[in-house]
Structure 1
Amino acid sequence: MNQLQEVQDKLRSLRLAETADRLPELIREAEKRDLSFTQFLLDVVTYEQKRRDEKQLERRFKWATFPFHSTVDEYNVNEQKSLSSKKLNQLKDLTWIEQLYNIIFLGPPGVGKTHLSIGLGIEALNQGYKVIFTTMGDLIQALKTEEITRKSKTRMKRIREADLVIIDDLMFMAMDKQEANMFFHLINTLYNQTSIILTSNKGPKEWGELLGDQAITTAILDRILHRVEIVHLNEDSWRMKHRKTIFGEQSVSN
Structure 2
Amino acid sequence: MSPTRRRRAMTEQAADAAVDQACRSLRLPTIRSRFTEIADAAEREQLTYRGFLAELLLAECDDRDRRRTVRRVRAAGFPREKWLADFDYDANPAINAATIHTLARCEWIRKGEPLCLIGDSGTGKTHLLIGLGTAAAQDGFRVRYTLATKLVNELVEAADERQLAKTIARYGRVDLLCIDELGYMQLDRRGAEMLFQVLTEREETASVAIASNESFSGWTKTFTDPRLCAAIVDRLTFAGNIIETGTESYRLAHARAARATT
In the superposition, the TM-score normalised over structure 2's length comes to 0.79
Deviations 1:7-49 (A, max 9, x none): 3222222222332232233333333333222112111111110
Cross-structure match for 1:69: 81
Partner Cα distance (2:83, 2:192) in 1: 32
Work out which of the residue numbers 88, 101, 121 in structure 1 matches 2:113: 101
Q: Which runs of 5+ in 2 are unaligned?
A: 1-12, 257-262
Partner Cα distance (1:156, 1:36) in 2: 54
Cross-structure match for 2:198: 186
Please state if 1:43 is matched with 2:47: no
Partner Cα distance (1:127, 1:118) in 2: 14
Deviations 1:43-87 (A, max 9, x none): 111111011101101111211222222332332333334333333
Partner Cα distance (1:241, 1:127) in 2: 31
Map 1:1-254; keep pairs closer than 5 Å.
Answer: 2-146=14-158, 159-241=171-253
Deviation at 1:241, TM superposition (A): 4.5
Given the superposition, is the C-alpha separation of residues 36 and 156 from structure 1 closer, same or farther in structure 2, using an over 3 Å criterion?
A: farther
Identity of aligned residues (%): 27
Given the superposition, is the C-alpha separation of residues 41 and 86 from structure 1 closer, same or farther in structure 2, using an over 3 Å criterion?
A: closer
Conserved? CA contact 1:79–1:235, under 8 Å? no
Deviation at 1:127, TM superposition (A): 2.5
Residues paired across the two proteins, number: 242
In the superposition, the TM-score normalised over structure 1's length comes to 0.81
Find the residue that maps to 1:21 and give its secondary structure. Answer: helix
Partner Cα distance (2:69, 2:166) in 1: 18
Partner Cα distance (1:38, 1:45) in 2: 11
Conserved? CA contact 2:145–2:179, under 8 Å? yes
Tell which structure's C-alpha radius of gyration is larger. Answer: 2
Letter of the structure 2 residue corresponding to residue 117 of structure 1: L
Q: Calculate the aligned-residue CA RMSD, in Å.
A: 3.0
Partner Cα distance (2:90, 2:33) in 1: 48
